[in-house]
């Protein structure tokens, strides 16, 4: 069913043509939501027509309003008036849409389980997110990345795209060698099994240990009179790590065997975290495979004169004529950099899939990197180079500052999720334990859904392009703009529907009237498909999140003021049950797009 604005626009074209000539129909039509102090649901700004009409704005508004009263829309019972009444305030025409239209909207929602979604298109979008390093566990920053990527993928699917969810694991490089070297020196052969630690946590501990020992070596060299920058290069641990990286790239059996074993520990840990977080991938690429393809492309670009080699043997791209700078592609020792890997990964992805659009969900500190990547791919002759989309998002900050993995000052994803579930368990115990026939298993599932829902919603409701300050205490609140508030609204509606046991599909729209809050809810529901479309265009889960909160707030206001189960008029009772059902349906769908589960009771 078309939006009310679209239906009105079709009628308005004819109205203004008849009143003021065809030229008037070419003017932009400006629709707004009617301000709360005026009667009506939708407002037309009539100032653009004043010049052609050569009349006062108030007179123009009255003329158009009178004409719109004659417009109709088709229903099962024939054509029905679209506009019930209007009021003109200076240059603004406030329209009250007939109850029959809003009730038709309600029927459409109840009969369409995919309400809000766009028709399927035969085009493929790939969304890359997560991109972890195998030298540390996932932390709060990774959570924002994963939750944004997962939600963006679902939102784009709702907008008709076929979506491939992908991950590039950074499983090689100097940072990986740091963890490996520290484990060799200080680990005494310990394993996830022997320590009882998740593999990613165990390896992360050695990444922190490397940094601690490395800093001590640098400090000692400085105390001996060496310049700090030189000390950082000459520290024995760093030299050993660099030598290990060279051995890895040369295929040394011992180094490769250790690398494989430690990565397997990390992958097992990652899988547990992803499962708890509720995200997954259709295809995982590994830098250890893709960087070789990247090196081949760099060598090709060197032969074709696209890049150049410096005296020390390193390979560079000169992008100064493109308004950028010079970019390193291969180090002097022949080892690759992130850019090399990303070139190879992009090539492999387009070989694997007929991608129409490639979206990288990566923090805003990498904006320059993706400008360069797009330009380099284009220079190398790949047609997809200029079409890459970098979904740039802000960082997650803590009250005491930024997180640093190598210093161990991070909010661990596993610990955070467990703490959120525990907080939800403690806050909801009084309510949950009073539910009839509640089992410990169901109570635990409710705590899990509410705790993780609070965390996900708190992260996703923020404009993704902004930095955000994470506060767990605010996120778990059952009031205000939080996930638990919306989940509780959904559970409240389910409770009402269970008690009613009515068939809300048998709604009759004849002779029903609507109060203001019922009309507000229906207007909100009518806007949902456009909200989903906007979220897809903007790549913004926040659009969905804040819509869901607004809808839940409006429902709770309606629920507070009007009885549902105790309504004596049968038709009105059925209407309100149907309206409640539609609100729950849309809330569940909106939260699904955010990756949030809904408890049936809480």
Tell me: pLDDT of 409 over 60: no
Residue owning tokens 């498909």: 529
Pair 234, 378 in one domain: yes
B/e letters for 473-500, b = 16+ CB within 10 Å, e = fewer, are: eebbebeebbbbbbbbbbbbbbebbeeb
**Cα(270)–Cα(319) distance, rounded to whole angstroms?**
37
Pair 192, 270 in one domain: yes
pLDDT category at 386 given cuts 50, 70, 90 is: confident
Pair 59, 142 in one domain: no
- Regarding beta strands 42-45 and 92-97, do their DSSP bridges make them parallel or antiparallel, or are they unpaired? antiparallel
**Cα(229)–Cα(218) distance, rounded to whole angstroms?**
9
Q: Is 437 a member of any domain?
A: yes
Q: Which two tokens stand for residue 250?
A: 């040369």
Note the pTM of the prediction, 2 decimals: 0.90
Pair 434, 553 in one domain: yes
Chain-centre distance of CA 204, in angstroms?
27
Residues in the chain: 602
* Per-residue 3-state assignment (H helix, E strand, C coil) for 550-593: HHHHHHHHHHHHCCCCCCCCHHHHHHHHHHHHHHHHHHHHHHHH
Pair 155, 64 in one domain: no
State the pLDDT at residue 333: 82
For helices 570-593 and 516-538, the axis angle rounded to 10 degrees is 20
User: Pseudo-torsion of CA 288, 290, 293, 294, nearest 10°?
Assistant: -100
Q: Which two tokens stand for residue 399?
A: 């009250």
Domain boundary among 97, 119, 149: 97
Helix (H) or strand (E) holding 396: strand 396-397
Pair 589, 519 in one domain: yes
Domain boundary among 358, 387, 407: 407
Pair 362, 476 in one domain: no
Task: Return the sign of the alpha-carbon dihedral for residues 457, 165, 265, 393.
Answer: negative
More confident call, 511 vs 18: 18
Q: How many domains does the chain have?
A: 3
**Cα(62)–Cα(86) distance, rounded to whole angstroms?**
8
* pLDDT tens digits along 222-244: 999 999 999 999 999 999 999 99
In 257-320, at which residue ranges do the beta strands (DSSP E only) sit? 283-286, 308-309, 315-318
Pair 44, 139 in one domain: no
State the pLDDT at residue 429: 78
* pLDDT tens digits along 459-499: 999 999 889 888 777 777 778 899 999 999 999 999 999 99
Strand partners, 329: none
Tell me the average pLDDT across 200-216: 96
- Regarding beta strands 124-128 and 355-363, do their DSSP bridges make them parallel or antiparallel, or are they unpaired? parallel
Q: Which two tokens stand for residue 508?
A: 């009759």
Q: In what order do the strands lie in the sheet with 315-318?
A: 308-309, 315-318, 326-330
DSSP 395: P
pLDDT category at 405 given cuts 50, 70, 90 is: very low
Burial class (CB in 10 A: 0-12, 13-18, 19+), 544: buried
B/e letters for 350-386, b = 16+ CB within 10 Å, e = fewer, are: beebebebbbbbbbeeeeebbbbbbbbbbbbebebbe
Return the CATH number at 29: 3.30.1360.70
**Cα(35)–Cα(39) distance, rounded to whole angstroms?**
8
Pair 433, 452 in one domain: yes
Chain-centre distance of CA 191, in angstroms?
36
Mean pLDDT, rounded, of the chain:
91
Tell me: pLDDT of 41 over 70: yes
- Regarding beta strands 92-97 and 83-89, do their DSSP bridges make them parallel or antiparallel, or are they unpaired? antiparallel
Q: Is 457 a member of any domain?
A: yes
Pair 455, 401 in one domain: no
Tell me the average pLDDT across 242-263: 94
| Cβ–Cβ < 8 Å for 38, 87 | yes
Residue owning tokens 């950099």: 337
* pLDDT tens digits along 291-341: 899 999 999 999 999 999 999 999 999 999 999 999 999 999 888 888 999
Pair 429, 531 in one domain: yes
- Percentage helix, strand, coil, to 5, in the chain? 60, 15, 30
Q: Which domain holds residue 368?
A: 129-283+333-407
Return the CATH number at 540: 1.10.730.10
Tell me: pLDDT of 406 over 50: no
State phi, psi for 217 to the nearest 5 degrees: -65, -45
Q: Is 314 a member of any domain?
A: no
More confident call, 428 vs 354: 354
B/e letters for 452-462, b = 16+ CB within 10 Å, e = fewer, are: bbbbbbbbbbb
State the pLDDT at residue 431: 78
Share of the chain above pLDDT 90, in %: 77
Domain boundary among 97, 118, 151: 97
Closest CA to 482 of 444, 449, 448, 455: 455
Q: Is 441 a member of any domain?
A: yes
* pLDDT tens digits along 108-159: 999 999 999 999 999 999 999 999 999 999 999 899 999 999 999 999 999 9
Pair 216, 265 in one domain: yes
Q: Which two tokens stand for residue 25?
A: 């129909």
């Amino acid at each position: 069913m078309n939006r009310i604005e679209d239906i009105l626009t079709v009628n308005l074209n004819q109205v203004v043509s008849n009143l003021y000539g065809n030229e008037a129909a070419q003017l932009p039509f400006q629709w707004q939501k009617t301000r709360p102090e005026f009667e009506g649901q939708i407002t037309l700004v009539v100032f653009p027509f004043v010049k052609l009409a050569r009349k006062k704005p108030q007179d123009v508004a009255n003329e158009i309003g009178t004409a719109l009263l004659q417009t109709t829309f088709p229903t099962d019972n024939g054509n029905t008036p679209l506009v019930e009444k209007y009021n003109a305030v200076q240059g603004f025409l406030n329209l009250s849409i007939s109850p029959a239209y809003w009730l038709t909207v309600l029927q459409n929602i109840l009969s369409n389980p995919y309400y809000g979604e766009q028709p399927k298109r035969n085009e493929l979008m790939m969304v890359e997110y997560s991109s972890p390093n195998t030298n540390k566990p996932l932390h709060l920053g990774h959570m924002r990345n994963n939750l944004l990527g997962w939600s963006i993928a679902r939102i784009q699917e709702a907008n008709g795209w076929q979506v491939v969810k992908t991950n590039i694991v950074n499983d090689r490089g100097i940072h990986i060698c740091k963890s490996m070297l520290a484990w060799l020196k200080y680990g005494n052969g310990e394993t996830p099994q022997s320590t009882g630690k998740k593999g990613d946590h165990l390896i992360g501990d050695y990444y922190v240990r490397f940094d601690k020992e490395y800093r001590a070596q640098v400090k000692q060299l400085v105390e001996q009179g060496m310049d700090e920058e030189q000390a950082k290069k000459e520290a024995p641990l760093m030299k050993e790590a660099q030598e290990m990286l060279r051995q890895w790239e040369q295929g040394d059996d011992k180094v490769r065997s250790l690398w494989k074993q430690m990565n397997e520990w990390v992958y097992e840990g990652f899988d547990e975290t992803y499962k708890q977080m509720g995200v997954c991938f259709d295809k995982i690429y590994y830098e250890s495979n893709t960087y070789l393809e990247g090196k081949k492309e760099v060598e090709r670009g060197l032969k074709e004169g696209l890049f150049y080699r410096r005296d020390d043997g390193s390979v560079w791209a000169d992008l100064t004529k493109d308004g950028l700078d010079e970019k390193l592609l291969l180090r002097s020792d022949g080892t690759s950099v992130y850019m090399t890997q990303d070139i190879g990964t992009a090539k492999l992805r387009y070989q694997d899939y007929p991608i129409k659009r490639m979206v990288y969900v990566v923090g805003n500190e990498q904006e320059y990197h993706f400008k360069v990547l797009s330009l380099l791919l284009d220079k190398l002759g790949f047609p997809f180079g200029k079409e890459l989309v970098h979904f740039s998002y802000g960082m997650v900050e803590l009250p005491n500052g930024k997180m640093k993995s190598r210093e161990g000052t991070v909010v661990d994803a596993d610990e955070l999720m467990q703490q959120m579930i525990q907080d939800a368990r403690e806050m909801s115990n009084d309510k949950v334990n009073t539910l009839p026939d509640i089992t410990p298993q169901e109570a635990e599932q409710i705590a899990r859904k509410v705790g993780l829902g609070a965390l996900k919603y708190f992260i996703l409701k923020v404009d993704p392009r902004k930095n955000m300050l994470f506060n767990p205490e605010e996120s778990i609140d059952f009031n205000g703009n939080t996930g638990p508030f919306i989940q509780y609204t959904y559970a409240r509606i389910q409770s009402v529907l269970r008690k009613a046991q009515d068939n809300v599909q048998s709604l009759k729209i004849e002779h029903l009237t609507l109060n203001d809050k019922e009309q507000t809810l229906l207007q909100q529901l009518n806007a949902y498909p456009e909200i989903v479309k906007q979220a897809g265009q903007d790549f913004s889960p926040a659009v969905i999140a804040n819509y869901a909160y607004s809808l839940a707030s409006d429902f709770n206001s309606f629920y507070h003021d009007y009885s549902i189960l105790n309504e004596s008029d049968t038709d009105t009772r059925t209407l309100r049950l149907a309206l409640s059902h539609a609100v729950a349906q849309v809330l569940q769908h909106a939260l699904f797009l955010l990756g949030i589960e809904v408890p049936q009771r809480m």
